[in-house]
Every structure is written in structure tokens, then in C-alpha cells.
Structure 1
């Protein structure tokens, strides 16, 4: 049954490509609605009966090519199915919603889900490579010069990253004679010398770190997610969903190597510096999409921090934040597309009067900004509360506050578009379906915060108890950070050009290859001296 999750979107996308648009669109929406029901059914089955394994050709588990659904992977699948429906709804009346687009878009859904469900290293490599090709084509779909350049950079960087994955998988197979992640994890404690895993582990982690876009491997992400001519729904699916496949593989690979290798301290610091640098680069952007792309880098850094704090509540807070980020960042990218269509502009410094000009889009943006910055009662506040509750160390608490202060400060800048007077008299009524999509996701950002404890218990399997006094204190800290950020931005950053100059810096392809090599060497050195 799990094979349906991968094959069905690809088959439906192929059929829709061969049909006329007036037949293809209803087919795609009918399928996606049915797909959500199927995902819910499989989620309930896993919740009631435990993990599901699907082996090809009825071969022995651990040897066969397998798809594996446990609580985490089926949750990621369910998240993908729901959010993909809103993407399709948003794009339904756009001029790019034609046969080539929805073929590639539906194929990408199947590949993303394949990365979530695959239990085999070679399958993961195949899904990663094919999805890289599909994403590259989607980035270049409008065939503009900048889009083609950005798409090719994305393609070559990720093919290089996947090469590390392939070599690492080969070394794992030479050692264990296995490619199945669960079988490798079971065999890992039998190693007589954990140092034998240094090289394959380093190769695999370079691959997933590149896919996750942690520091210093994030230079490709703004090019891919912020490509000027790429449809907003492409940026949304890349930042909201596709990058989560890298985070998911990061979790799985570290679980596999956990009996032999512990890199929590290393990746905690990688996550922290990724988050801080992502905020700095975001504040230095004028372009809405580039701002949101660098903001994604920062939020991924926070997720990596939570995953490597060594406590259950921080770990599940990071998982919760994966879902939250998928919601509010998708909403912000889709809203940015509507703003660009209305204003004919992407410069944050030139767009003003959104509250008056586009009230419903503004509502979605406000809800999403409150979510991503961790405002009380929003989903981001729950996941950040969980991550912060995972430590009693004052230094770590300070670091988490620095990350959130940076996030708040960056979105104070983004929020300036809401105020002021509209400069151009033209008015374009946004498509109804697009408005429904962005406003619905914005509202869900609030609801999954208000119902956060129940959400964590039911969907993540983690019973969350929120201490009212502690939560109120964190809410007061948030208010103080918000007020301080407004004063600091208006008094200092608004007039300071240094961050804008920093924001314009970027690595060439040669530079990206160099830092990837350096990151690989850094992991090797760290492991050599700690094992």
C-alpha cells in the first residue's frame, strides 16, 4: 500500500499531462482530495498498529527495497498531502497551471514522499537525483536567463551533494552488505571499531547538510527559492516542503549511526550559526523572495538546534517546528506572489500600504509573521517553547533568545510593507482560490498554536504539558523583544546600509564547491579527534 504514495502522484501527473486542461484540472483536484483521505487512513493505521513496512517482490525485510512508515514518516506524508492541496488551489487559475507544470509538480510530490518513506540508501539516492532534475526544471520553467542560471547552479550543486550520498552508501554496503537503514542501524552496535564509520558518515552528512542548507552550504538556496521568474508556488513548495526532506534524512541518518557516532554537539553549533547568519542575510535583503529564502535558512538552523539538544521535548519541538515552518513559510511565499502581481514590485522598501490595498493577504501575512516569530498562542510559540524547555543551561537559553530576537527583528522589517500609503492607483483583485489558500493556511497557523498540546499528543505522539507561568514569562519576553526590535529597526537598521551590502554577497559555484569540501574535511577532523 505504501507504494501508492509514491506512484499515484506520478501516474496522475502523467495522465493529466496527456489530457486537455479542462479535464486535467478536475482530475488533479479529485486525486489530491482522495490522496489526503488515503494519507489520513494510513496515519490512523500506523497510530493504531505501529509501523508499516512494504517490501518489493516479497523479499526478506532488510534485503528488499523497502518503504517504511512510522509515526514520523507518515506524519510528514500527511503534512505534504494537505499542504500540496493548498498549493494546487492557489495555482488553479494562474497562467502557468498548464500540462507541463502540473505534470512536474505532481511528480515532485511523489518524489518528496518517496524520500520520506524510503528505507533504502540507494532508493534515497535515486529519489534525490530525480527530484533534483524535476526541481531544476520547475525553477527554469519560464525560461528566463536568471532562472536558467539559478536552476543550473541548483542542479550542479545538488548533483555534487548526491555524489557524496552515493559514495557513502557504497562504503556502507562494503562494510555491512546492507543498504536498508533499519538493518544497518541494527548492525551498527556490532562494529568492533566505530572509526570505520567516519568516512561514510561524513559523506552522508555532507549530502544531507547540503540538502538541508545549513551553514556554510546554504548559498544555493536563495538562488533556487528566490528565483525572480519562478512561480510563487514553486518557491513555496521548495521552502515549505522539499527542504524538509533534507531535515528528515538528517534525522534518519543520525539515528542509524547513533550507536557508533555522536555528533550532537557539532550540529548544535552548526544549527546555531546557520540560524544567526540566516537572519543577518535576511535583514540585508530588499527582495521579498530572497528575504523569505534566507529566513528559511534561519528557521532550518533552529530546527537543527532543537534536534541536537539531547532531550525529548526539544526533539519533538523541532519536529513540530518542521510542520509549523511548512505552514507559515508557504503562506508567506504565496502571499509574496500575490503582492508582486498587485504591485509589480518585489522590493520591500518600495511596497507600502498592504493593509489598505490587500487586507486579506495582509491578514495571512500577519498570522504567519506571528507564527514564525513565536507570538503567544501561535504554533511557532508552542514549538519554540518546547525547544527552549529542552535545556536548563542559561547559555543555551540565551542562544535561543538571540535566534528568536533576530527572527522578530527581521520580520519587523518585512512588516513595514503593511503600513503607509499606496503609491500606485491600480488595483488588481486577487484570485479567490489563491486568497482562500493563503488565508486558510494563516488561520491554521493560529489554530495549531491554540490547540498545540493536543496536536503534539495526537500527531507527534508526545504528551506536552505547558507550564502556565513559564509560558506567560516567555510571552512577556516576546513582547519586550518585539518592542525592542521595532525601536532598533526604526532607529538604527532602517538607516544603516551595512547589512544591505552584506546581503548582496553570494558565493560563486566554485566557492560553493570549496565550502562543501571544507565542510567535509571539518566533519572528518571533528570525528577523528572525538571518537
Structure 2
């Protein structure tokens, strides 16, 4: 019962329905999803990890967690890929990243566990950055439709740089915080099949990140008068850039941060980091071609957009999740 309740808090599939609604509420100011993603989700994920590790000595649910983490990761990136509302893209991206964290815990290895811990920190920084960027874009362009947001780098260069930094952290680019956490989780995965599934989720994050990156280029169709009236305040832009810079700094000094915060020495060799960098470049290239193909052809995942759980549906999903989890625990004892 306790684990089911915590799974709702972290928005693990299929109890994720509340998160997109909370993040994309029209009445909520842009700061709300940034706080939810940066603080609330981090606290909930930490609680989830503590609950899982507390009972790991008597109940082994690693297989169950891996399956649920993989489903959350895949479902989240598919939804993020086909959405056009920038808030919903980032909301379903959170569902996908939660799946990665759960997979790290499910590996049952030291590297996987600490990779999940570090990814909680990394996610709070790069996702807060992206939501703050979204707030700047909403004030300037007056829309959340990414197809109508163009020329960010030329019109709002500071915001554009922050967007790039946030996306690099999200996708796990070398030297950024996401690279350390994903490299650790990848090092903790002990079968080839699991490693392939892990990289599928990473590939998904690259695909929808490239979709967001399209906002950086193109021509801003807003008039000069409207652009000047909607220009974000300078202090807000620099705060956003500061959060974006932290995604890089926490990657460059990730080893020292882990030692300072958790008294844990990261066990990543130069060979392991090089392997992660090569894998990232391969996935980036593959993601680029896939993203172009998706935009030029009919979207085969359109029907998934219709999966919006109502309150009653979420209650039924929670009951089903509890029954499956309880049954798995019973047979694993």
C-alpha cells in the first residue's frame, strides 16, 4: 500500500494522469511547473527510492520495477514526441525521466542506484531550466504551441542559450549532469536486452528534444511592437540562464558533488565515459533522422494522444497497480 501511494506521487505509469494536468493548467503561472518538477518531484522520487531500498532485503521487486520503469519511459517519450503544447511535452518528458530513475533502482546494482540518485538532482535542474524557459517564451510569443514559436536564438538569445543547456542536460550530452547519471545507470545494467531498452528511452528523449530545438531557428513572425512589449525582464532571463549553467557545472563537477552530498565516489572510468559519449553521438544521429521522418509522414502514434485518464480512470489504474504489485510481492516471498 505504501509503495502504491508513493508511485502515485512520482507519477509512475499508469498513475501519471495527474502530472500533465497539473503542469499544463492554464491558470498556473510558469513558475509552478518549475517548482513542481524541481522540488516536488525530487522529494517524491527520493521517498520512492528510500521505500524501495527499505524493504529490498525481504522483498525482491526489481523485475516489477524494471518493467514499470520501461513502460513509463517509453510511454512518456512517445507522448512527448506527438504533443504540440510545450508544457505537455515537458510534462510527459518528466514521466519518461521518472522511468529512467526507476530502472536505475531496479538494476539492484551500486552504479544503478547512485545513478538514479544523481539523476534526481540532474532532472530537478535541467527540467526547472526548461520550464523557466517556457515561461519566457509564453510571455514573449503569447502561445504554448511550439509550431508558432520560431527564432528564439535571434530574438531572445539568453533564453535560447538556456534552452540549449537544458536540452543538453536532458538528453545526457557529454559534460552535462545527465551524462553522469545516465552513464552510471547504464553501467549498472547487467544484460544486453536491458541496455538496449535503456537506450531506446534515451533515444526518445533526443527525438522530442530536437523537436523543441526547432524553436531556436526560423523567423519570428511577431511584429516588432509586440516583441518589444512582451520582452521578458532581464532578471528573469538571467535567472533562467543561471539554472541552465548549473546543468553544465553539475556535470563537470559531478564527482565532487556526489562525494560532498552522499560521500560516494563515482566509479566511472575514462573508457566508460568515452563509451557513453560514442553511444550518445550514435543516438543523436539516429534521433535526428527519425525526428525528420516523423514530421514528414503520418504520425503512427496519433491514437495515443487520446489516452487522457479521468479521475475515475486513475483510481481504477491505482487499484489495478496495487493488485499486480501485491500479487508480485506475494509470489516473490
TM over 0.5: same fold?
yes
Q: Which residue does the alignment assign to 1:272?
A: 70
- Kindly indicate whether residue 267 of structure 2 is the aligned counterpart of residue 469 of structure 1: no
For residues 255 and 459 of structure 1, the distance between their equivalents in structure 2, rounded to whole angstroms, comes to: 19
Q: Which residue does the alignment assign to 1:244?
A: 42
Structure 1: segments with no counterpart, 5+ residues = 1-202
Counterpart pick for 2:151 among 330, 353, 358: 353
Which residues of 2 match residues 83-102 of structure 1 at below 5 A? none
CA deviation digits over 1:404-451, x for unaligned, max 9? 011111111111111111111232321122112110011111111111
For residues 464 and 505 of structure 1, the distance between their equivalents in structure 2, rounded to whole angstroms, comes to: 40
2:60–2:332 Cα contact (<8 Å) kept: no
Q: Which residue does the alignment assign to 1:206?
A: 4
Which residues of 2 match residues 354-433 of structure 1 at below 5 A? 354-425=152-223, 426-427=226-227, 428-433=230-235
Counterpart pick for 2:103 among 296, 305, 308: 305
2:183–2:272 Cα contact (<8 Å) kept: no
Q: Which residue does the alignment assign to 1:341?
A: 139
CA deviation digits over 1:260-293, x for unaligned, max 9? 2221221121111111110011112110001100
Compared with structure 1, are the counterparts of its residues 351 and 499 closer, same or farther at alpha carbon in structure 2 (3 Å cutoff)? farther
Pick the structure with greater CA Rg. Answer: 1
Q: Which residue does the alignment assign to 1:478?
A: 280
- Secondary structure in 2 matching 1:375: coil
TM-score by length of 1: 0.60
Which residues of 2 match residues 24-39 of structure 1 at below 5 A? none
- Kindly indicate whether residue 271 of structure 2 is the aligned counterpart of residue 458 of structure 1: no
- Kindly indicate whether residue 126 of structure 2 is the aligned counterpart of residue 328 of structure 1: yes
Question: RMSD over aligned Cα, in angstroms?
Answer: 1.4
- Kindly indicate whether residue 57 of structure 2 is the aligned counterpart of residue 259 of structure 1: yes
- Secondary structure in 1 matching 2:197: helix
Compared with structure 1, are the counterparts of its residues 466 and 256 closer, same or farther at alpha carbon in structure 2 (3 Å cutoff)? closer
Give the superposition deviation at 1:361.
0.4
- Kindly indicate whether residue 240 of structure 2 is the aligned counterpart of residue 442 of structure 1: no
2:158–2:238 Cα contact (<8 Å) kept: no
1:283–1:503 Cα contact (<8 Å) kept: no
More off after superposition, 449-458 vs 295-304? 449-458
- Secondary structure in 2 matching 1:349: helix
Q: Which residue does the alignment assign to 1:218?
A: 16
Compared with structure 1, are the counterparts of its residues 492 and 253 closer, same or farther at alpha carbon in structure 2 (3 Å cutoff)? closer
Compared with structure 1, are the counterparts of its residues 256 and 399 closer, same or farther at alpha carbon in structure 2 (3 Å cutoff)? same
CA deviation digits over 1:265-324, x for unaligned, max 9? 211211111111100111121100011000001111101111121111111111000000
- Kindly indicate whether residue 311 of structure 2 is the aligned counterpart of residue 526 of structure 1: no
- Secondary structure in 1 matching 2:148: coil
